[in-house]
Amino acid sequence: MSRKLLVVFAVLVLVVVPMTVLAGNQGGRGDYNKDIQWSANIDVTLQAMAYANLALETYSVDVDIDVGAINGILPVYGLVEAVSKNDQFPEKNVTFNYEADNNATIADSSFEDFTGNLGVNVAAGNSNTQSNIATYAAGEADASLTRATIFSVQKAMENLTKNEGSANNATIAGSVLEGATGNVGMNVAAGNNNAQTNLTAIAVAPANVGMALAYVQQKSLNNATFNGPTYTFEPTRLESSFDVTGALSFGDGESPNFTLYQVDNFYLDTWTGATHPAGDPTGHIDMDSNIQGAVLNPYRDDQTGTGDLPIGGIAFEGRIPDAELNLTFTGYQDVLLPVLSVKTVNNATISANTLSNLTGNFGINVVAGNNNMQANAFAACYVPAVAGTPGGENGGNGGGGER
């Protein structure tokens, strides 16, 4: 009775989601085509068959399974299941890197000729999430339900990152894992808010039904990243030189006249001797408004000069000619100019001969930068022959019976 209850519970787990089963009797065999569609907007917690807290989010999966039936009945006597589940949520992080170097490196020849199950995580930076998960399940009961299931949810949301002159370098050097054998998950990240995961689920059992399901969801929303260099300011002398040219032309000799007047009355001394002040004074020469042909200064007609005479004397008339102007100005100024100091770079590298001659299942993630998500999911279900199950076109020996 307990075995039957176990089978019923296993079947209920299968039909939690909407499922359509089409069965037909064809020579003692039935073709079961299960189209599974499951869409939900909330996290669901499911506890069943020795695994708990399996948080499922929105996804859609189509699974087509062809199995043999005995007289239209599919007997299931147990559940063998391997479940890998991982959630990574780098959210609401604020990161500011100023001339910071984030270097994540796996050196030369690391894990060379490795054999077995290996998980390697190397991270440099801020708020990075990494995981390697492997689950294995094996059963011996015939006619069991065998299932390998993987669920992975990665969200990088609402992160603010500012990099100034920062270097993010993620490197797997040469010959790493060369000649390795087995199940290997390796994550190398340099930067901020990166999510990396490797998931493996393998289930092995003699079964009527085998299922392998891998579900990976990645969301990158509302992230802001600013990458830029840094600068230093250096004093620099800037030289400048410019020319000024101009011309003054009145055309056809029509330039205006002008008159020059004395600004005061003058009396010039006269002396004997070859040079002044040698010799003796002999008298003076009048240069005032009383000389013959004197011209009064119209701009000083309200004033009197020496001897209370009106200001005047000699005057000159002239004409402004056409002219050209050519000037050159030269000089310099000391200023502070920005000079590039350090660039922001993101480099993700797998070197030569890395991962060469590998045998087995390998998930390798290498990332440099911000808000990157990487996932490798491997779900495998191996179903060897089940004793007593239908065989050949006539349905074999029929199996069945209570166990």
Average pLDDT over residues 267-289: 84
Of the pLDDT bands very low, low, confident and very high (cuts 50, 70, 90), residue 328 is very high
173 is a domain residue: yes
113 is a domain residue: yes
Q: Please, what sign has the CA dihedral across residues 75, 79, 80, 83?
A: positive
Q: Which amino acid belongs to residue 365?
A: N
Judgement on whether residues 62 and 76 belong to the same structural domain of the protein: yes
Phi, psi (deg, nearest 5) at residue 52: -135, 165
pLDDT at 246 over 50: yes
Give the end-to-end CA distance of the chain in Å, rounded to a whole number.
9
Tokens of 261: 């007047």
Average pLDDT over residues 331-337: 90
- The model's pLDDT over 173-195, given as tens digits with 9 standing for 90+, comes to 888 888 889 888 889 999 898 99
Lowest mean pLDDT among 213-222, 339-348, 378-387, 393-402: 393-402
Predicted pLDDT at 272? 85
Judgement on whether residues 209 and 247 belong to the same structural domain of the protein: no
Predicted pLDDT at 253? 59
Judgement on whether residues 143 and 186 belong to the same structural domain of the protein: yes
Predicted pLDDT at 6? 36
Of the pLDDT bands very low, low, confident and very high (cuts 50, 70, 90), residue 3 is very low
Judgement on whether residues 359 and 219 belong to the same structural domain of the protein: yes
What is the three-class DSSP state of 341? Answer: strand
Radius of gyration of the chain (CA): 50
CA gap 270, 278 in Å, rounded: 11
Predicted pLDDT at 388? 53
401 is a domain residue: no
- The model's pLDDT over 64-84, given as tens digits with 9 standing for 90+, comes to 445 455 555 656 667 788 888
Residues paired with residue 221 on neighbouring β-strands, in sequence order:
157
Which residues of 114-180 form beta strands (DSSP E)? 115-126, 129-138, 144-157, 160-164, 167-172
Count of structural domains within the chain: 2
392 is a domain residue: no
CA gap 275, 322 in Å, rounded: 40
Judgement on whether residues 243 and 349 belong to the same structural domain of the protein: no
Average pLDDT over residues 297-314: 84
- The model's pLDDT over 48-59, given as tens digits with 9 standing for 90+, comes to 322 333 333 333
Judgement on whether residues 283 and 149 belong to the same structural domain of the protein: no
Average pLDDT over residues 103-113: 85
Lowest mean pLDDT among 164-178, 271-285, 328-342: 271-285
Phi, psi (deg, nearest 5) at residue 93: -105, 140
391 is a domain residue: no
199 is a domain residue: yes
Contact 215, 150 (CB under 8 A): yes
Tell me the C-alpha to C-alpha distance, in Å, between residue 67 and each of 202, 381, 383: 20, 14, 12
pLDDT at 12 over 50: no
Average pLDDT over residues 248-252: 73
Tokens of 24: 């037909």
Mean pLDDT is highest, among 235-244, 254-263, 265-274, 344-353, for 235-244
Letter string b/e over residues 92-128, b meaning 16 or more CB atoms within 10 A of that residue's CB: ebebebeebebebbbeeebbeebeeebbbbbbbbbbb
CA gap 327, 242 in Å, rounded: 9
Judgement on whether residues 301 and 325 belong to the same structural domain of the protein: yes
Q: Is 286 exposed, middle or buried (0-12, 13-18, 19+ CB in 10 A)?
A: middle
Judgement on whether residues 168 and 255 belong to the same structural domain of the protein: no
Judgement on whether residues 65 and 204 belong to the same structural domain of the protein: yes
Tokens of 283: 């008298």
pLDDT at 311 over 60: yes
Judgement on whether residues 323 and 225 belong to the same structural domain of the protein: no
Where is 198: in which H helix or E strand?
strand 195-204
pLDDT at 62 over 50: no
395 is a domain residue: no
CA gap 197, 128 in Å, rounded: 11
Tell me the C-alpha to C-alpha distance, in Å, between residue 379 and each of 56, 146, 151, 199, 206: 17, 12, 10, 8, 17
Judgement on whether residues 361 and 213 belong to the same structural domain of the protein: yes
CA gap 170, 186 in Å, rounded: 12
What mean pLDDT value characterizes the chain?
Answer: 74
Predicted pLDDT at 21? 29
Lowest mean pLDDT among 7-21, 83-97, 349-363: 7-21
33 is a domain residue: yes
Mean pLDDT is highest, among 15-19, 120-124, 234-238, for 234-238
Predicted pLDDT at 343? 87
Domain with 282 in it: 235-335
Judgement on whether residues 140 and 197 belong to the same structural domain of the protein: yes
